[in-house]
Amino acid sequence: MSDPRIYGMIKDIFVEFFELKESQVRPEATLFEDLGLDSLDMVDLAVELQAKFGFTFDRAADEEKIRAIRTVRNFCDYVEEKIKILNIKLPDL
């Protein structure tokens, strides 16, 4: 989780869509237990990834990686890796 821009953008998504406080979206917070998200929220997260970053969960290629996502940090790492692989340019903060 080396790029603070990604963490910032993901935190914004969590705050806006899941009505969480910024302080709740800590890197070590677990998505389901700590933040109270569920499988439908994961669908909305996928939709927002598409809107904000131009890609979404690739279930065929990344099945294991997606299944391993437990925390905000895991999620940020997945997004960061995809951004590098797909060479997506992020906006400057």
Partner 1 sequence: MNRNRVVITGYGIVSPYGIGAEKMFDGLYANRSAVVNIREWLGPRAPAYHSLVAAPLQEIPDPRDVPRTFRRNMGPLAVIAYRSCVDAIAHAAVPAGAVGSPGFGIVYSSTTGSAEALEESFRVYIEDTLRVLPNSGSFFKIMSHTCTANVAHALGLRGIAYSVSSACASSTQAIGIAYDLLRRGAQEMILCGGSEELHPLAVLIFDLLQAASWKYNDRPTQTPRPFDVQRDGTVCSAGAGALLLETEASARRRNAPILGEIAGYATNIDPTSMAQSSQESIVACIRAALADAGVRPEDVDYVNAHATATVAGDISEGLAIEEVFGGRPVPVSSLKGHMGHALAAAGVLELVGSLEMMRRGRLVPSLNLETPCPEAAGLNHIPHAGLEARVRCFVKNSFAFGGINAVLVVKEYAE
Q: Which residues bind partner 1 (CB under 8 A)?
A: 18-19, 38, 40-41, 43-44, 47, 50
Q: How far is the CB of 17 from partner 1 (least distance, A)?
A: 9
Angle in degrees, 0-180, between the axes of helices 72-86 and 4-18, rounded to the nearest 10: 120
The answer to whether 71 touches 10, Cβ cutoff 8 Å, is no
Nearer to partner 1, 11 or 77 (CB): 11
Q: How far is the CB of 19 from partner 1 (least distance, A)?
A: 5
Residues 6+ apart with CB under 8 A from 7: 1, 27, 72, 76
Nearer to partner 1, 18 or 73 (CB): 18
